[in-house]
A and B are shown apart, each in its own frame.
Chain A
């Protein structure tokens, strides 16, 4: 398939717990300041690009946010997403040391999830660079049924009150209020209309997806982004016939999330009723037909094989996917733990463990306890993640940015950096624009930088 630029932005939840109980705690704002201290080095605002091409900054609501560099391969994206977890983990250890020096003894917890205890939400946003020619209304109507139903493999799972059935598939579903909206902090939509391509606007649009959950499972991330990329390609090539319009997509996304058997039928505009899995099969069959006439590649083949495997399992018994999908892995181990320890679903320990699944610090994390015992399916190797922590992707403009940041960090140049430009200050006074994110380097700027 044709190349596409992918990116993931993750807002992390963060809290500091003092060693001695009932001691005064630090505010989230203060903890985030300590977290950034090591890398902001004198900048006014905690917002930096890193040597691997990624951006790390403080977002709305005081959340540290990691935005991966531009990747043109989904496997590579998974490695870069995981690299973000490792980077923030290291920063947390450094921050704890500085805090101890200042007399604050305690522990920072960092969660890659989408909910706090009272139910405030924060997001994981996917970004897909798309061809500009696609009509946005068409795009939205073809995507909505896909986004409503893909949670059956992309959901991160959450405990809900016992009178509502203990457990739901998705963390974000309940916070989606509109079909199409520009809002990201209120009235969130299944389709978000924000469109900053950070590239040539005539050629590209950016699809900013806010409907999904943050994933711990590499498999879930891979499938979530991979299947979406294939659907978008079919829409760009005008291959999808539209037949799946839902009667009430906002209600459907919640109903599907509330049913861990994945058998609840949802109503289509034409009166038909299909389950989320049946609807996903329709998309998969369409993708198979598409790939009979379009060029495929090894990543696409892996996405297709896993997509089919997952739908086959979901159809017979979703709980078979207890090594692959976040919501099932977590359900299985919460269930096992509470049974063995004689607890109920609403016990504080179980809610605590739900949170701990998403802790990115490995010694504090249920997910990593499982991964370290090979209880989860991996997509990338640890070496690939370590590499992604230091080096940008080779085939996109992130490569150029990463090399540049390295020079900056060596103290050799003064500059301003953003996704699509690099500005050299004194004595060079040059602005380099990069309007094509597929280009790994642009000649003039590279020559200047390598000559410094």
Chain B
């Protein structure tokens, strides 16, 4: 009996709610991450708005040091 009580004290139900909250947070974070990633990829599309083939071919420098 006494050990059970001790266990109850060590592992109070509060922990479970905390865990659930944590799970909710992390799935929110996942969504946030996907949104962030999508908006970053869109931003990259914008950075690449010129004709890539032409830009890359035209990028010619003289050799430096």
Contact = CB atoms under 8 A, between A and B. Distances in A.
Interface string B33-65: 000110011011001101111111111111111
A259 to B, nearest CB: 25
Interface stretch (A60-68, A221-229, A318-326, A403-411): A60-68
B5 to A, nearest CB: 44
Interface string A364-392: 11100110010000000000000000000
B36 to A, nearest CB: 7
B65 A210 contact: yes
Interface in A332-355: 333, 336-337, 340-341, 347-349, 351-353, 355
Range of interface residues on chain A?
35 or more
Contacts of A61: 61-65
The SS class assigned to the B binding surface is helix
Nearest to B65: A184
Given A63-B62, A120-B64, 12 more contacts: A17-B55, A21-B51, A25-B58, A61-B63, A117-B58, A120-B62, A123-B64, A336-B41, A351-B56, A355-B56, A369-B47, A370-B40
Contact of A185 (B37, B53, B59, B65): B65
Interface of A: 11, 13-15, 17, 21, 25, 28, 59-63, 116-118, 120-123, 125, 184-185, 210, 333, 336-337, 340-341, 347-349, 351-353, 355-356, 364-366, 369-370, 373
A59 B57 contact: no
A373 B53 CA distance: 28
Contacts of A17: 50, 55, 58
Contact of A122 (B43, B51, B52, B61): B61
14 contacts: A17-B55, A61-B63, A61-B65, A120-B62, A120-B63, A120-B64, A123-B65, A336-B37, A337-B44, A340-B41, A341-B41, A347-B52, A348-B56, A369-B44
B59 A21 contact: no
Contacts of A366: 44, 47
Given A122-B64, A123-B65, A15 B58 contact: yes
Contact of A11 (B44, B47, B65): B65
B48 A353 contact: yes
B60 A116 contact: yes
B48 A349 contact: yes
A349 B45 CA distance: 9
Contact of A116 (B54, B59, B65): B59
A398 B58 CA distance: 39
B24 to A, nearest CB: 23
A353 B44 contact: yes
A24 B40 CA distance: 33
